[in-house]
Amino acid sequence: MGTALVYHEDMTATRLLWDDPECEIERPERLTAALDRLRQRGLEQRCLRLSAREASKEELGLVHSPEYVSLVRKTQVLGEEELQVLSGQFDAIYFHPSTFHCARLAAGAGLQLVDAVLTGAVQNGLALVRPPGHHSQRAAANGFCVFNNVAIAAAYAKQKHGLHRILIVDWDVHHGQGIQYLFEDDPSVLYFSWHRYEHGRFWPFLRESDADAVGRGQGLGFTVNLPWNQVGMGNADYVAAFLHLLLPLAFEFDPELVLVSAGFDSAIGDPEGQMQATPECFAHLTHLLQVLAGGRVCAMLEGGYHLESLAESVCMTVQTLLGDPAPPLSGLMVPCQSALESIQSARAAQAPYWKSLQLQGQCGQVLGCRIPPQAPCSGYDSELSLDVTPVPTSPSTHSPEGRPPPLLPGGPMCKAAVPAPSSLLDQPCLCPAPSVRTTVALTAPDITLVLPPDVIQQEGSALREETEAWARPHESLAREEALTALGKLLYLLDGMLDGQVNSGIAATPASAAAATLDVAIQRGLSHGAQRLLCVALGQLDRPPDLAHDGRTLWLNIGGKEAAALSMFHVSTPLPVMTGGFLSCILGLVLPLAYGFQPDLVLVALGPGHGLQGPHAALLAAMLRGLAGGRVLALLEEDSTPQLAGILARVLRGEAPPSLGPSSVASPEDVQALMYLRGQLEPQWKMLQVRLIAEAWLCPGARLCRRGRWGGQGK
């Protein structure tokens, strides 16, 4: 459906005319650097270019007072000295004779973007604007912001398009207090902001930036603040904040539109933020938001003062909006202690208002943390002792500990998939983009009818002798249909491993599902995949000959009971309610997957998987964030064409349909999740939603700590 890029050259006009060290970072080159890089990468050319229009007086009046708008209008005719005097009446503000025009274009750009998305002209988009907006208030300019572009867009989407639920995600490193003030009593706008806070010692030094500011009146629980109390927050911290705080609330809120206050001063290199998140992290943040609101995402530029970091991060955002898979994240995926404290205090502050936070993470209080009798903590099966050597703590600003298993010597895979400290100028991904995004290797011809036109229907098969050799150990692969399907699957898998094809779908006869999956795993591991994530739904047993070398993470959803036989062999029942399914994905599957950093993902819908199309689509869409989007979905041959069609669409980058209002998780779902967390948290730090110290208060977790993989905690 396309991505809009809204811009107008005139927005480079406003600039600082006098000496002011605080304001000099907000300069015209911010826009030109971002736009030049988008052109260089061929990204601008792939967007629908829209020229920004000026917002009208009425539109500005949706959030600003008439007096304030006329005050800003008058700056057009002031001389330099008068401009400087007026600027001095606000905090961190400069006016220029072009400010009024630029600020009206900036607000208007957002409105055009919202119109384009809500009329269906495009799926999503980015407005590249100056001045930024999120600090601006009803009658005050603040922090380089004159009119509140994102707030005006939200009010406009409500008024002109009749929307009832709008999510604003403010990933700028500063608190958008302007947006907070404008919507603090409005339950139709959910405002999420993370920001450098340092216990109140960072600009704008507001008490109301802390996690306990949650909105007022009808709007209680619709303001979500995540204060960062240390600098140096990185990819793992940001992803953890999305998985454990923003996304549970966002799914429960079920927005019709997502607006992003897209400031890139939260990226590495920025002098204001002093954070560590690499540009690729913004591809992941964008990707994670695209599963909401049917993919209707409107991003608007806010801050971002390191031109190189800004330009790269903008490219990552636009590339992801265009549907390209996110490049793998670099670095250890271990959130730091301070980030966990912040996330936990925000979860605690929000818990009274959100069902999705009420049952979990409040260990011992709401639900109690009982160990399911069928799955005792102690006494692991001895065959499962792992010969995975602990890897030493890496030097980093906040010394994370624990990491995925050691890497094996390379295959022909993307170098960036190997977790390694990255410098800003590292190429995001050294593998060439596959020429084919999604291929389906299906045997039932009626399925092609529901496929999007650019999804390739694969004709090829692996050589007969080779297919037979792979099939030989498996009785269930002896039949002709199973062999034919296996040949197609092997051919597709090779195409993915060679980088010809990004993702694919293959079908197998139901009776051969487990054996086919086993072959796919072995073939993947022997043909270049270094870490393979296998998400198996339904009755699919872990292949008996799977090596315990940490190269395969096996996750069975639809097992009889919650069980972690090792840190690489996890099984959980299929959640019965949508709420449980969401917490399983956000609270278990994705934290494990992000922690593991696979370079190939297999997702198998096996016998009795019981997953509805939209749920399967959501899972596949979110797993596409891993492994550079290298996801192979295995279906049973008698799956409906609709299921194959919906999976093909999300794997090529379309948004999954929204699930609608979600039910709560059932007590059984919650219990399974909490049990597995207790088991796995010591090894998989992305699972953590509370501090280890607190976990000790939970009797279940304490027992679980005597696990076999070290289990010493922090």
Q: Closest distance between Zn ion and the C-beta of residue 23, in Å?
A: 13
Give the residue among 139, 216, 223, 150 at the shortest CA–CA distance from 180.
223
Task: List the single partner that 327 binds among ligand Q9C, Zn ion, none, CB under 5 to 8 Å by kind.
Answer: none
**Sign of the alpha-carbon dihedral angle for 664, 257, 214, 692:** positive
Nearer to ligand Q9C, 104 or 649 (CB): 104
Specify the DSSP class assigned to residue 429. Answer: -
Query: Could you say which of 108, 303, 323, 495 contacts Zn ion (CB under 5 A)?
Result: 303
Total residues in contact with Zn ion, by rule CB under 5 A: 5
Burial string for 538-574 (b: 16+ CB within 10 Å, else e) reads: bebebbeebeeebbbbbbbbbbeebbbbbbbbbbbbb
Query: In whole angstroms, what separates CA 342 from the centre of its chain?
Result: 19
Which residue of 178, 303, 558, 595 would you call a contact of ligand Q9C, by CB under 6 A?
303
Binding to ligand Q9C (CB under 6 A) within 563-622 occurs at none
What lies within 8 Å, CB to CB, of 185 at 6+ separation is 215, 216, 217, 218, 219
Contacting ligand Q9C (CB under 6 A), which of 10, 20, 22, 481? 22
Stretch that binds Zn ion, among 171-179, 375-383, 534-542, 649-657 (CB under 5 A): 171-179
Stretch that binds ligand Q9C, among 51-59, 69-77, 142-150, 462-470 (CB under 6 A): 142-150
Kindly state the smallest distance separating residue 24's Cβ from ligand Q9C, in Å. 11
Taking the complex as a whole, the smallest distance from the CB of residue 309 to ligand Q9C amounts, in Å, to: 13
How far lies 349's CA from each of 342, 354, 481, in Å?
11, 10, 56
In the list 108, 110, 125, 132, the residue contacting ligand Q9C (rule: CB under 6 A) is: 132
- Pairwise CA distance, residues 35 & 7, whole Å: 9
Residue among 158, 174, 542, 609 that touches ligand Q9C (CB under 6 A): 174
Under the binding rule (CB under 6 A), the answer on residue 179 touching ligand Q9C is no
Active site residue: 64, 96, 134, 135, which one?
A: 135
Among 108, 110, 125, 143, which residue interacts with ligand Q9C (rule: CB under 6 A)?
143
Residue 263 binds ligand Q9C, judged by CB under 6 A: yes
Least distance (Å) from ligand Q9C to the CB of residue 110? 14
Phi, psi torsion values for 84, nearest 5 degrees:
-65, -40
Question: Which of left, alpha, beta for 204 (phi over 0: left; psi -120 to 50: alpha)?
Answer: alpha
CB atoms under 10 Å from CB of 373, counted, come to: 7
The least distance separating ligand Q9C from the CB of residue 203, rounded to whole angstroms, comes to: 4
For ligand Q9C, the closer CB: 305 or 568: 305
With contacts defined by CB under 6 A, name the span among 39-47, 137-145, 147-155, 570-578 that binds ligand Q9C. 137-145
Burial of 700 (0-12, 13-18, 19+ CB in 10 A): buried
- Interface with Zn ion in residues 243-272 (CB under 5 A): 263, 265
C-alpha span between 216 and 186 (Å, rounded): 8
Q: Of residues 145, 166, 249, 632, which one binds ligand Q9C by CB under 6 A? A: 145
In the residue annotation, 135 being an active-site residue is answered as yes
When asked if residue 302 is in the footprint of ligand Q9C (CB under 6 A), the reply is yes
Site for ligand Q9C in 188-207 (CB under 6 A): 203
Beta carbon nearer to Zn ion, 310 or 603: 310
Q: Is 172 in the site for Zn ion (CB under 5 A)?
A: yes
Angstrom distance (rounded) from CA 195 to CA 179 = 13
Distance separating alpha carbons of residues 9 and 564, to the nearest angstrom: 56
User: Hey, which residues between 83 and 122 contact ligand Q9C (CB under 6 A)?
Assistant: 92
* Residue linked to tokens 């929307």: 163
Query: Is 133 one of the binding residues for Zn ion (CB under 5 A)?
Result: no
Q: Does 265 bind ligand Q9C (CB under 6 A)?
A: yes
Question: Which listed range, 139-147, 251-259, 438-446, 500-508, lies at the site for ligand Q9C (CB under 6 A)?
Answer: 139-147
Look at the chain and count its residues.
714
Q: Can you tell me whether residue 582 is helix, strand or coil?
A: helix
Q: At what angle do helices 480-497 and 513-526 cross, to 10 degrees?
A: 30
Q: Does 279 bind ligand Q9C (CB under 6 A)?
A: no
- C-alpha neighbours within 13 Å on the C-beta side of residue 426: 23
Q: Decide which of Zn ion, ligand Q9C, none touches 280; Cβ closer than 5 to 8 Å per partner kind.
A: none
Minimum Å gap between C-beta 511 and Zn ion is 57
Burial class (CB in 10 A: 0-12, 13-18, 19+), 506: buried
Task: Output the smallest distance, CB 30 to ligand Q9C, in A.
Answer: 10
Residue in this structure with the two tokens 């009808």, named with its chain if needed:
218
Region binding ligand Q9C by CB under 6 A among candidate stretches 11-19, 70-78, 141-149, 612-620: 141-149
Could you tell me the smallest distance in angstroms from the CB atom of residue 232 to ligand Q9C? 16
- For residue 302, the minimal CB distance to ligand Q9C (Å) is 5
Q: Which two three-digit tokens encode residue 354? A: 């959100």
Residues 368-397 that bind ligand Q9C (CB under 6 A): none
**Would you count residue 637 as binding ligand Q9C (CB under 6 A)?**
no
Residue 254 sits at the vertex; the CA angle it makes with 253 and 256, to the nearest 5 degrees, is 120
Q: In the complex with ligand Q9C, which residue's Cβ is closer, 225 or 530?
A: 225
Q: Are 317 and 222 in contact (CB under 8 A)?
A: no
CB 146 within 8 A of CB 72: yes
> How far apart are the two ends of the chain, measured CA to CA in Å?
47
Q: Which residue blocks in 588-640 are alpha helix, DSSP H?
A: 590-596, 613-623
The CB-of-103 to ligand Q9C minimum distance in angstroms stands at 13
Q: Which residues bind ligand Q9C (CB under 6 A)?
A: 22, 92, 132, 135, 143-145, 172, 174, 203, 263, 265, 272, 302-303
Active site (catalytic) residues:
135
Q: Which residues bind Zn ion (CB under 5 A)?
A: 172, 174, 263, 265, 303
